[in-house]
Chain A
Amino acid sequence: MIKSILNQILKFLSNPLFTLRIFLTLLIGKNALERLNFLIGVKNNETYELSLTWINSMIPKEMLVNQSNFEFYYYLIIVCTITAVVGIFGRLSIFLLAFTAIMMNGMVEGIGIFDHNLSLPSQIYFILAFLPGTLSYSIDKWVMGKIWKKKDFVRADNKIIKMSTNVILLVVAFTYFTAGVSKLRYGGIEWLDGSTLSFYIQDKMMDYEEGKKQILMGRSVDENDFVWKGPYGLYSHTYGNYRTSPTNRAFNSWLGSNKFLMSTISILTVLLELAGFIVFVNPRLRNIFLVSVIIMHSVIGYTMGLSFSYYRVICVLLMDWKTVYADLASIYHMLKQRKTKLIYRLQGR
């Protein structure tokens, strides 16, 4: 009984395109509704030229969220979330929901903050609308199977699902790789000394009043800089630490002031991010990479309050669960054998 339930779960988990469709639809649908409320509620949100992302600059201005189309988007998000989960006009629903979410998060970027927690999930979700295998276990598939009896037409075999999954893994690996490159590109080899992460881990941004939260970084201006922008050489803004609880703060203070640990964490972070493409070497390395990334995001979440929960969900779903199951089963058998041997040995005494 338990084995058959496990096998059934394993069957679903073995098709990440299906599980990603279900989980990302729910997460992105929820996020889209939150964004919609934010966009309508925030003042000073004019969609003028400077606030448009590349994608939003190609959309007619009337289609961007405003007071008059609020209700339309509200119902569109709800309907598409439901139809994408059950798989009725599945691809169209995913496409519309993904497009709406990308447009709305683009507007949020225009207002001021690029939500990196949503960048990779939005891309993956959009790609799902085009990849074969996404609609395994859907009403669309069932109906098409009834209409066209030739099952090959509608069925995505394991090879196709594997190829589609590799496309998703490629985007994931690329995102982490580019994050590692950016740290070395902007911070140089010095970044590995840990002082940057130490600053962010110990920052108490939430304690400061409005007007004192957002820091910009500057440098001495030389002839290579835009001298006409002024003498401060502003080149970057900082990111925030949203943690406020005393327990977190005490841990952050201890961790952030330990130079050796901060440097080790910085080096491991860059190495891990640059190693993104090892997911294609073999299933076990893929799982090790994804688990390491989940741990990395969990540490960032605990210390800074930036949970990157969507990334973590994606990483869990992209794991090769057949290998996890096989590895766990062999560990279980090994422990069982050891236990038996131990019992025999004890009985012998």
Chain B
Amino acid sequence: MKILSRKNYIFFIAAIFLLPNLFVMALGIESFPYTQAPMFGHYIDSNTKLYLLKFEGHTADGSVDLVDYYGKSELRFIRHFFSKVYGSSDYFTPFSGRVLEDEERFHERLTLFFDSYQKFLWEEYQLKFDSIEVKIAQVDSERNIVRDYRPFGTYNCASKEYKVIMD
């Protein structure tokens, strides 16, 4: 039997290209182009708690709503923050390729994110803050406020530390 036949080669190609797909499906993660297609998968009904996030820069003189300073659409900015930085409450998030999660990694990611964002705010808009606050509001499906914005977490720009606010 010929080992180096075209037939065996095709089986080999199939195996090589299917393996990452099997991996992402088994763990429930994704990294382009491999996905377990989680679109519309999470259940929503009238009881589902829906939230909006916003970022606010703080100085001794006051605060600035940063929605106009994300540098990209809110959709991209918030999805990046939620998927790649903050992470889901589930161990394996279907919105990133992470396979390990713990408190230390979580804080490491937040520091990396805010460090990069702080740099961008300065280079692009010459904005500098003492701290950047993430705020959260509960809304209904039509974005009507159910529970007004309240602090969700704060990043201290000097000490480069993110603190979760436990309400």
A contact residues vs B (CB 8 Å cutoff): 42-46, 48-51, 53-55, 102, 105-106, 108-116, 118-120, 122-123, 126-127, 130-132, 160, 163-164, 167, 170-171, 174-175, 178-179, 181-183, 185-188, 190-191, 193, 195-197, 199-200, 202-204, 208, 210-219, 221, 225-226, 228-240
Please list 26 pairs of residues, one from A and one from B, whose beta carbons are closer than 8 Å in the complex, sorted by A's number: A44-B70, A44-B71, A45-B72, A48-B112, A49-B112, A50-B85, A54-B31, A105-B33, A120-B33, A126-B33, A127-B13, A174-B18, A174-B25, A181-B25, A182-B38, A183-B40, A185-B28, A185-B41, A196-B45, A211-B52, A211-B54, A215-B141, A218-B49, A229-B87, A236-B88, A237-B79
| Contact A226-B89, Cβ < 8 Å, known A211-B52, A213-B74, A239-B39 | yes
The reply to whether B14 and A43 contact each other, CB–CB distance below 8 Å, is no
Indicate which residue in A53, A126, A218, A229 contacts B164 across the interface (CB closer than 8 Å).
A229
> In residues 80-118 of chain B, which contact A (Cβ within 8 Å)?
80, 82-90, 94-95, 97, 101, 103, 106, 109, 112-113, 116-117
B contact residues vs A (CB 8 Å cutoff): 6-7, 9-10, 13-14, 17-18, 21, 24-25, 28, 30-46, 48-54, 65, 67-68, 70-80, 82-90, 94-95, 97, 101, 103, 106, 109, 112-113, 116-117, 119-120, 124, 136, 139, 141-143, 152-153, 164-167
The reply to whether B36 and A226 contact each other, CB–CB distance below 8 Å, is no
Extra contacts besides A231-B167, A236-B95 (6): CB < 8 Å: A160-B7, A174-B21, A210-B74, A211-B65, A229-B89, A229-B164
| Contact A102-B33, Cβ < 8 Å, known A50-B113, A232-B152, A234-B86 | yes
The reply to whether B79 and A50 contact each other, CB–CB distance below 8 Å, is no
- Bound: A45/B123 CA distance, A: 13
Shortest Cβ distance from A219 into chain B, in angstroms?
6
Among B10, B33, B51, which residue has the most Cβ atoms of chain A within 10 A? B33
Contacts of A215 in B (CB 8 A): 50-52, 139, 141, 143
- Bound: A106/B33 CA distance, A: 7
Top 6 nearest A-B pairs (CB, nearest first) are: A44-B71, A112-B76, A179-B37, A43-B71, A186-B41, A187-B43
In the complex formed, the residue of B with least CB distance to A193 is: B45
Shortest Cβ distance from A242 into chain B, in angstroms?
10
Indicate which residue in B32, B42, B74, B164 contacts A211 across the interface (CB closer than 8 Å).
B74
- Bound: A170/B22 CA distance, A: 12
Indicate which residue in B38, B77, B109 contacts A112 across the interface (CB closer than 8 Å).
B77
The reply to whether B51 and A232 contact each other, CB–CB distance below 8 Å, is yes
| Contact A163-B10, Cβ < 8 Å, known A232-B136, A240-B75 | yes
In the complex formed, the residue of B with least CB distance to A194 is: B45
The reply to whether A230 and B51 contact each other, CB–CB distance below 8 Å, is no
The reply to whether B166 and A122 contact each other, CB–CB distance below 8 Å, is no
In the complex formed, the residue of A with least CB distance to B10 is: A163
Contacts of A130 in B (CB 8 A): 13
In the complex formed, the residue of B with least CB distance to A220 is: B49
Among A108, A111, A171, which residue has the most Cβ atoms of chain B within 10 A? A111
Indicate which residue in A43, A195, A221 contacts B43 across the interface (CB closer than 8 Å).
A195
The reply to whether A221 and B89 contact each other, CB–CB distance below 8 Å, is yes
The reply to whether B32 and A109 contact each other, CB–CB distance below 8 Å, is yes
- Bound: A118/B25 CA distance, A: 18
Contacts of A49 in B (CB 8 A): 112
The reply to whether A44 and B117 contact each other, CB–CB distance below 8 Å, is yes
The reply to whether A226 and B101 contact each other, CB–CB distance below 8 Å, is yes
- Bound: A45/B116 CA distance, A: 10
| Contact A114-B95, Cβ < 8 Å, known A119-B34, A186-B38 | yes
Shortest Cβ distance from A303 into chain B, in angstroms?
12
Shortest Cβ distance from B46 into chain A, in angstroms?
8
In the complex formed, the residue of A with least CB distance to B17 is: A127
Among A45, A108, A164, A238, which residue has the most Cβ atoms of chain B within 10 A? A238
Contacts of A191 in B (CB 8 A): 41, 43
In the complex formed, the residue of A with least CB distance to B54 is: A211
The reply to whether A114 and B76 contact each other, CB–CB distance below 8 Å, is no
In the complex formed, the residue of B with least CB distance to A189 is: B43
Contacts of B49 in A (CB 8 A): 217-219, 232
Contacts of B68 in A (CB 8 A): 210
- Bound: A175/B73 CA distance, A: 29
Contacts of B90 in A (CB 8 A): 235
Contacts of B17 in A (CB 8 A): 123, 126-127, 167, 171
The reply to whether A186 and B42 contact each other, CB–CB distance below 8 Å, is yes
The reply to whether B71 and A210 contact each other, CB–CB distance below 8 Å, is no
Contacts of A217 in B (CB 8 A): 42, 44, 48-51
Contacts of B40 in A (CB 8 A): 183, 196-197, 200, 239
| Contact A229-B86, Cβ < 8 Å, known A122-B33, A170-B18 | yes
